[in-house]
Amino acid sequence: MSRSKVLVTGGAGFIGGNFVQYMVDKYPDYDIVNLDALTYAGDLTKHKAIENKANYRFVKADIADRDVISALFAEEQFEYVVHFAAESHVDRSITDPGIFVRTNVMGTQVLLDAAKANGIKKFVHVSTDEVYGELDFDPTVFFTEDTPLQPNSPYSASKASSDLLVRAYHETFGLPMNITRCSNNYGPYHFPEKLIPLTISKVVNEQEVPVYGDGKNIRDWLHVWDHCAAIDLVLHEGISGEVYNVGGHNEKTNLEVVKTIIAALGKSEDLITFVTDRLGHDKRYAIDPTKLEQLGWKPTYNFETGIAQTIEWYMDNREWWEYILNSEDHK
């Protein structure tokens, strides 16, 4: 019996890295190939527990390098592609939008061409709720899969562009695909520049915790392990051509998140410092995941249990994030 071969792009990043570990452990009869360019947010130390497993292999490559990607697909004959690789930090996209267009749009197109040429069974494109734009503070209104795309940052615009390319390859060429759009992820191995790990590191060291604007921007939080299970389900059961929203049912203001972490670590809210708001800062994101739930998924973490687990993980793994914060690449 032949073994299924799965390419995971961006598998040295936060969500992709957790997904690689999830797949290697859950499916010993699948060969998982982790492809990553190892830019500043890429980190392979998280994979020490699986790096010697027979069903795992790492390939360093840039998804926008057409020659390398074409040769890899021809050699490996992947059956499935799960595409995480992306520049993803909004602040960085405001500083240098061009990098985001190259990786997120052009890189995705290179992968799609290779997938089409090699007849893969499924291309799962992992996107974000930020492509929908922003919601107001009406708690009864949510993003659905039919919400028009109205991205407001160079990052979300580049992701929306890649979503449309994936859709077009399905409609034009019949490429089997799904698109998933998730809310804000949190959990182990979250890169330290993001809100939750940044806050944890600042609070632990009793440093000022920056909060944009008035801190009232709302995000729906999704534990990364719940997200991995959702992508697994879509990969195997998703109807080709469909979009699935993945939400955590955990809406919190940024200020609530920060205060929760401060309280859990027994520190003072005096550490909070309000800073000039981010350009184009969306007010609220919130997802209706009914379509995915009808496919058979439900989150196992609420925010209270998830954030407690996450804080504990960061306290137990200080050497991982302290090394990144002190590295020259991060500085």
Which positions are annotated as active-site residues? 129-130, 155
Reading the block at residue 166, the tokens are 């994936």
Distances (CA, A) of 183 to 105, 129, 277, 315: 20, 6, 21, 25
Q: Which of 184, 204, 195, 200 is nearest to 254 (CA)?
A: 195
Contact 18, 225 (CB under 8 A): yes
- Across the beta sheet with 80-83, what order do the strands follow? 56-60, 30-36, 4-9, 80-83, 122-128, 177-182, 243-246
Question: Which residues, including other chains, have CB under 8 Å from residue 150's CB and lie 6 or more apart?
Answer: 132, 133
Distance CA 102, CA 303 (A): 34
Residue with tokens 């929760």: 260
Look up residue 33 and give its DSSP letter.
Answer: E
